[in-house]
Structure 1
Amino acid sequence: MPPKSDFAHVTQLNVLQFLTAKSTRADFSIEDAGMQLHIEAHAPGVYRLRCAQASVLLDEKPGARTRLHTELLLARQEAVGELAVSSIPEREQQGWRLEQGDIVLEISHSPLQFSISKGDDCLLRSDPRQALSVVQTESGEQVWRLGLDLDGDDALYGLGETAGELDRRGQRVEADHPQARALPLAWSPKGWGIYVNSLGRVEHDLDTDGSEVYSIYLHANILDIFLFVGEPAEILNQYTALTGRAGQPALWPMGVWLDQAPGQTVAATLDQVRQFRQSGLGLDAVQLADPAVYGFQADKPAFEWDAARVADPRSVLSDFQEQAVQVAAPTFPGVLADTIMFTEWEDRGWLLMNDEDGSAHVFEGCAATAGRPFALLDLTYKDVYKLWSERQRQAFDEGLGAPVCDAQYDIPDGITARGGESGAVLRTIYPMLARSALFDAVAGHKTPQEGVMVSTDLFPGVQRYAWQRGPLVENSWAGFEHSLRTALSLGASGVHVQTHLLGNSQAPVQGMTPELYIRWLAASVFSGNFSFQGLPALLPSAFDDETQALVRHWLQWRYRLVPYVLGLIEDAVRTGLPVQRSMALAFPEDPIAHAWDTQYLLGPALLVAPVLEPGQEAKVYLPAGDAWWDLNTGWRYEGGTTWTVRAGLDTLPIFGREGHMLCLGPLAQHTGEFNSARLLDEVWMFGMPEHSPVVMRNKIRVMQMQGSSYIKGLEGLRILPSEGLEVKRRGAEVRISRIR
């Protein structure tokens, strides 16, 4: 944040006057600052606050660039809520109530303050010491400052990736640089959330000084924030409905992946695929390693494959497809600096250019360019965006399964894109445009829009894309936990799926013991997805026969879980809930559960407690409010209890939530063996069914009558009831009742 010594002028927003109210919005004037404040019921339980100079807020004809920025940030722009506005005359200071049913936003002035309540409970209030102000820095930059009061026990979640505690309180997040790994949503289990809707620089001071204030600094001309009220699941629902949700991946990405090791030949990787098949190990996809395997020719604006690695692309892709394996390959949105295309496109202005002399900015080499200097395409220019997207589509027409592209570059100040973006805005918008162009190439022309674009980039709206790749970590127990925590923190930030890497080909492998390998694999099986690493020392074949047998055991589980996990992704499209859900997200009313922050819910039905240290005993906390069934023993436990369980390497502490069902698919070595007309094979019940199961593209409904559950959609499946229940089939209907 700007140091206080850099504050040339601070304008505290005080004198608030009511102007007008409509069914969805109330407008106020801030006369002492020449500004207006618009408060909108954007959706049920969602308030939007926009503050700026009146001329800016009342501009009814924004430019094309402003409209593009709005579309990149918001999937739903029109307000769909209703607002009732009334004054609060009994107050010493004038105030107003903006009501949405039992949710009330109260606002007053001198100084300008607000609070949000639900029923009789005040959930959030602005801090009277900071409230809302505009800071003018010595450099002339305008910075909005907003302070929110925190109670002593308020926890804060979201705001992007972290490998530490999921509760972000006490941290500082500066969102305009790639290394920050930041996302814009923050929420509290107390029942409120906040989203700063901006491409500009946003800084979150989450009570780093112990003053019990959450301070937000926004570097922009307009303050635009959304306030959410509800349980965390409802906050994610409203946030993703507002900012966008993922499309559906196809079936094959749900199978097991293999990442090519750096420097490995394609022929060697194909041999590894054949070894997987011969060993009876499941596999569906291969990701080729950096550098980029395909991209622009040195002298023509057409794509070509790296002939040194892939001499005949169609033949190579066909060889993998004969093994029922799809290929994902790295690419990047730029050209090498020592090529004819660099010179030609620099003259055209198609590359990101330096302000000082108008030359194309040359970036230092990266993994995608094998260390060679390069320039980035100016994707803010529609002709360049279209060209890159169309060339990408040609690669898929040749048989490529998915692109791999990290485009979150640390673009320095002093570069202005053709669209006028620079600084933090350009750093934020560039990976957004790159992923959007790839989506247009891979999935945009399909019905339904199925496809994945593999990337680690984080930016506002990243949850619109179905596949987020996990971080590179150490080959150690700490690395295993690091990968798990990043997945849970991203899920709490609105990202539906983070995949895991089973080890790291670029790190020392001595720490990867057979025990760690199996524990890591078991937890990865019960996640969105994961990938093996192609380094021979990290492949199953590097371990003893007993360990390889355990690998086969867990891969069988993975393919049986595919209908459930893909059903969770389909559910995320409707609800915004991630595949892996932290305890604070899933059980906000159980503060004890929040401390067990390496446990998680896989969807609504399964509680998973990964074993994160050597040994065969693990402690598990079963959240209050539900009973839980041990998948390994069939025993039932009451919630709100802590247990020490024994888990051999062929088991994992997993508990089914009472009232739910787990639908499993058949044994398979790849998703091509699935029968699309019969994706399910078996149903496990955890007590009397009360909830319709989450399952891919199957409509199974549970109805309850006279103490029994009646289920349609389980025809021909094997059903395993819990103890004390019996199953009776009645034509196309299954009746579950107590044993008499």
Structure 2
Amino acid sequence: MKFTNGYWLLRDGVEALYAREAYELRANDEKEELDILATCRNVTNRADTLNLPTFNLTVSTPAEGVIRVRAQHWKGATPQPGFPLHYDEPGQRDYVTVTAEGEGDGEVGEKGATVALTSGKLTAKVVKGSPWNLTFEAEGKELTQSFGKSLARFKLSPAAAVSAQPVGEFGVSLNGQAYDESDVFTAIQLHLGVGEQVYGFGERFGTYVKNGQSIDIWNEDGGTASEQGYKDIPFYMTSQGYGVLVNNRGHVSYEVGSENTEAVQFSVPGEELDFCVIYGPEPKEILRRYTALVGRPANVPAWTYGLWLTTSFTTKYDEKTITSFVDGMSERDIPLSAFHYDCYWMREFHWTDFEFDKRFFGTIDDVEKTLKTFHEEKGLHICAWINPYLGQAGSAFEEARKNGYLVKKANGEVWQTDLWQAGMGLVDFTNPLAREWFKDKVKGLLAHGIDAIKTDFGERIPRDVVWCDGSPTLSMHNWYTQLYNQTVFEALEETYGKGNACLYARSATVGGQQQPVHWGGDCESTFNGMAQTLRAGLSLTSSGFGFWSHDIGGFEGAFPDPAVYKRWVAFGMLGSHSRLHGSTVYRVPWLFDEEDEKNGVVNAPGQTAVDVLRKFTLLKLSLMPYVYEMGLKPHAEGTPVMRSMFLEFPDDPTARTLDRQYMFGQSFLVAPVFTYSGDVEYYLPAGTWVNWFTGEKVTSASGVWRREKHDFDSVPLWVRDNSIIVSHEGAQKPEYAYGENALVSVFLEDGEEAHAHVSEIDGTGVEFVARKDAEGRITVESSDGREFTARLTVSDELVKSSNGVAVLN
């Protein structure tokens, strides 16, 4: 939100208090905190302290390399709730030091003296006097600072016109996205260095580099071609080596070099601002510390990495239609791992009542018989769609109403709307009884033979309601989705055990990364929609989310262009989770070949939609030893499966801005094709890269741009040097013994040694090590003597191991 009119003036109707002087400094060794009193004018004598507003700041550290700042104008005001933060145990805090200049009761005396809190290598320092200053530095380098006119409290009059957008309740528009219920905001600006770039904020569909953008953390169902997001996260990181979390569940407004071009400004409603600075300096280390602070993603079961097919948003769910799709995939040799029933498994107007529509599914015995057939004969896992809204025609609405499980208006009536399902109410997940009731409903669904749950919606949360636990209405808009998804995920874990739960969620806030998987919302079925989707995925996985998916072929659009569908298949299968889903048209591949024939397009051999989907599905299944290993890293380290080029190559200035390519784990570079013609331009960072399909080798000391043309069954897919890729050609499902009789491909040009750990589903594992001797000969060994086949890159001869050792010349 912009409060100023240029650099010098305020906007009409806006009054400001700025911290001007660090007046009192105290270092508290016992609490490991700094206490700072900042005045809103410079104080030259004691009389100046009369009628003088102040800010009280507390600087502390929850964990090593993390410093938390709480700034308050009025301490008696009701603060907005923050997120659950994981603090280190007191006995593990030998990394904290508190220092101060001066004597007497912990207070620093003369102007120019300092107090500092150090957490690991990160230090926060304040110098007594004017101008106001709060500096964060690490390893002898300044990271960022709040300096001068940067910590502020803004008071808005009813006539305030903060933007040219429509005016909200207090005369304030948040760029047309969210209207706050407060006439007071607290804000701070953290300085940006020259060339410093900013990333994150959750799922954002604009450019990956966020400099110059206005961003509101306010979840909305806005589609992928807008500035809104389904998963808005008040966290960002920068190329300067640090990240920032604003610890507020409600609305947070950012101006990323867009109000003050030299700073990131963030503001929240009310009299208090709470944020954490997190040091890296590498972006992976920032994510490691950030996810340790707010929670790491759970591990997901291996079957979820295979291909998912859905009914799409259509109404024909009879067994004959569904079976024709499942059997059609099998007949075309396209392995399918999961089948998803979207909305219409329940009767229209009844969503969500957890009852199968008897017109299509018969009795519940019939349902269980059908699902058992899918499980046992088709080898499928089954997912079902739900949302937290209860249409009044469904049985669940009346049950929830009678028991007080629905959100209410201030007058005590149940809040209802006709938007989506007629007369629907909203489950109040702040009510513990309502949570257990909803969880039992989910468990009942699982008992019929459902393996995963798609938790749709969670963004359309009203503001004019009363919550059971008394939560402030503003804070619940974003936080609601966490309570919703957490409830469902608990039902899954309590049924199937930790590491075996999977939901498919659209909305999220901080904490949501702990309940994977998330998908990218309602994207357009165009190349632009595909590019928007990738940008959103890169931003989300730069914000603590380890797993991510999207609708292959796009969701919106009556019938996606077959070219878009096929290009999207290559992109969608080279990610953590892969799902065919759309709006009014089923996304089975042969329908797109029929459309091509109608348009007089004759595909060359291998270029049909069926051929392309088969090829990339089998490719992903063959790479499951690698994919599964990468999928364990979000839980262990906070490192996502999909990674931006910045995340893997932060020291490469070119890589920092790229948002049309990505790293699939640590070793594969993928550059999706966004054109009908197959033309693509992408960048290979410095080093040696080998093309997975052709074996072509490229070596560059400074990075190289490439322009190519690709058929539909191809995509730029390169392997990083000093990698070992373990695979199983011919794999037909995602679950198998990954390390048994594996194919070990060695990419070792510039280094002398490479390692690959392969984890099995049962928790065991094997290590493969390749070493190069002085003559350039490479020896490959398995850690436990198991047999395997090895090769250099992808075009060399296969060499069988003997006693767990293979020698490659």
**Normalised by the size of structure 2, how large is the TM-score?**
0.81
Query: Given the alignment of the two structures, is residue 163 of structure 1 paired with residue 205 of structure 2, yes or no?
Result: yes
SS of structure 2 residue aligned to 1:553 = helix
Compared with structure 1, are the counterparts of its residues 323 and 192 closer, same or farther at alpha carbon in structure 2 (3 Å cutoff)? same
> Which residue matches 2:427?
377
Aligned residue runs from structure 1 range 628-647, under 5 A: 628-639=689-700, 640-647=703-710
What's the secondary structure of 1:304's corresponding residue? coil
- Does 2:616 match 1:568? no
Match of 1:257 among 304, 308, 316: 308
Aligned to 1:397: 447
1:130-159 CA-partner distances (Å, limit 9, x unpaired): 2x2333444664422101112331211000
2:754 aligned with 1:712: no
Contact 2:299-2:631 at 8 Å conserved across structures: yes
1:463 to 507, 513, 526: 513
TM-score by length of 1: 0.88
How far 1:562 sits from its partner (Å)?
A: 2.4
2:769 aligned partner: 702
SS at match of 2:196: coil
- Matched residue type, 1:83: V
**AA matched with 1:243:** V
Write the letter of the residue equivalent to 2:574: F
Structure 1 residue 333, shift from structure 2 partner: 2.4
What letter corresponds to residue 633 of structure 1 in structure 2? T
Secondary structure at 1:558 match in 2: helix
How far is the alpha carbon of 1:206 from its aligned partner?
0.8
Matched residues in 2 for 1:735 and 1:215: separation? 57
Name the SS for the 1:389 alignment partner: helix
Displacement after TM superposition at 1:679 (Å): 5.9
Displacement, 1:468? 0.8
Shift of 1:604: 0.6
Aligned: 1:667 with 2:730: yes
Residues 470 and 499 of structure 1 are in contact (CA less than 8 Å); yes or no, is this contact kept in structure 2? yes
Aligned twin of 1:134:
153
Report the alpha carbon displacement of residue 221 of structure 1 after superposing the two structures with TM.
4.9
Q: CA deviation at 1:646?
A: 4.8
Q: Structure 1 CA distance, aligned partners of 2:191 and 2:665?
A: 33
1:412: Cα distance to partner? 2.7
Listed as ranges, the matches of 1:47-196 within 5 Å are 47-52=67-72, 73-76=84-87, 81=93, 82-87=95-100, 93-100=112-119, 102-109=121-128, 110-130=130-150, 132-138=151-157, 141-178=183-220, 179=222, 180-181=228-229, 182-196=232-246
- Cα separation, 2, equivalents of 1:614 and 1:461: 39
| Matched ranges for 1:568-607 at <5 A | 568-607=630-669
State the match for 1:46 in structure 2: 66
Deviations 1:622-678 (A, max 9, x none): 112x3212223323322412233453333321111111111113423333xx43475
Q: Is 1:192–1:235's contact at 8 Å kept on the other side of the alignment?
A: yes
Verify the 8 A CA contact 2:58 2:71 in the aligned structure 1. Answer: yes
TM-aligned CA distance change 1:731 to 1:55, over 3 Å: farther
Instruction: Pick which of 29-38 and 421-430 moved more.
Output: 29-38
Aligned residues: 716
CA distance in 2, matches of 1:256, 1:384: 34
- Match for residue 7 of structure 2? none
Write the letter of the residue equivalent to 2:122: I
Contact 1:407–1:430 (CA<8 Å) still a contact in 2?
no
> Once the 2 structures are TM-superposed, how far is the Cα of residue 439 of structure 1 from its aligned partner?
0.8
Q: Does 1:651 align with 2:720?
A: no
Which is further off, 606-615 or 626-635? 626-635
3-state DSSP of counterpart to 2:714? coil
C-alpha displacement of 1:214 = 1.3
1:486 counterpart letter in structure 2? A
Q: Structure 1 counterpart of 2:367, which letter?
A: P
C-alpha distance 642-313 of structure 1, shift in aligned 2 (>3 A): same
**Equivalents in 2 of 1:727, 1:285: separation in Å?**
34
Picking from 481, 485, 491, the partner of 1:431 is 481
Relative to 1, partners in 2 of residues 1:565 and 1:415: Cα closer, same or farther, differing over 3 Å? same
For residues 10-33 of structure 1, give each alpha carbon's deviation from its aligned partner in whole angstroms, at most 9, with x where no partner exists. 253634433343377223142755
Unaligned runs of 5+ in 2: 4-10, 40-52, 103-108, 158-169, 171-181, 223-227, 594-602
The CA deviation at 1:570 is 0.6
**Distance in structure 2 (CA, Å) of the matches to 1:735 and 1:91:** 71
Moved more, 419-428 or 726-735: 726-735
CA distance in 2, matches of 1:127, 1:74: 27
Range that drifts further, 440-449 or 701-710: 701-710
* 1:210 Cα deviation after fit: 5.7
Which residue type is aligned with residue 249 of structure 1? Answer: V
Residue 280 in structure 1 maps to residue 322 in structure 2? no
Change (3 A) 1:98 1:275: same
Q: Which residue of 2 aligns with 1:245?
A: 296
**Offset at residue 701 of structure 1 (A):** 5.1
- In 2, the alpha carbon distance for the partners of 1:726 and 1:99 equals 55
Q: Which moved more, 1:167-176 or 1:612-621?
A: 612-621
Give the SS at the match of 1:499.
Answer: coil
Aligned match for 2:415, one of 354, 361, 368:
361
Question: 1:420: Cα distance to partner?
Answer: 1.0
- The change in CA–CA distance for 1:723 and 1:607 in structure 2 (over 3 A counts) is closer
**Equivalents in 2 of 1:344, 1:403: separation in Å?**
22
CA distance in 2, matches of 1:295, 1:691: 56
Shift of 1:353: 0.7
1:235 Cα deviation after fit: 0.7
| 1:620 equivalent in structure 2 | 682
User: Is the 1:660–1:690 contact (alpha carbons within 8 Å) kept by the matching residues of 2?
Assistant: no
Report the CA distance shift for 1:38/1:512 in structure 2 as closer, same or farther (over 3 A).
Answer: same
Closer, same or farther: CA 228–48 of 1 in aligned 2, 3 Å: same
Aligned-pair CA distance for 1:449: 3.4
Paired residue type of 1:95: T
> Among residues 29, 46, 50, which one is paired with 1:22 in the alignment?
29
Structure 1, residues 453-492: CA drift from partner, whole Å, max 9, x if none? 1111021122112211123222222222222222112111
Q: Are the equivalent residues in 2 in contact too, given 1:135–1:143 (CA < 8 A)? A: yes
Q: Residue 50 of structure 2 aligns with which residue?
A: none
Tell me the equivalent position of 2:373: 319
CA distance in 2, matches of 1:496, 1:76: 22
Aligned 8 A contact 1:23 1:83 in 2: no
- Asked whether the 8 Å contact 2:524–2:555 carries over to 1, the reply is no
**Which amino acid counterpart does residue 711 of structure 1 have in structure 2?**
E
Residues in 2 aligned to 1:6 and 1:191: alpha-carbon distance in whole angstroms: 38
Deviation at 1:189, TM superposition (A): 1.4
Q: 1:92 to 1:14 in 2, by over 3 A?
A: closer
What letter is aligned with 2:287?
L
| Inter-CA distance 157–302: structure 2 relative to 1 (3 Å threshold) | closer
Q: CA deviation at 1:123?
A: 1.8
Q: Is the 8 A contact 2:788 2:801 kept in 1?
A: no
Contact 1:200–1:220 at 8 Å: present in 2 too? no
Select 1:236's aligned residue among 254, 266, 287: 287
Structure 1 unaligned segments of length 5 or more: list them: none
Look up the equivalent residue of 1:265 and give its one-letter code.
Y
Aligned: 1:519 with 2:572: no
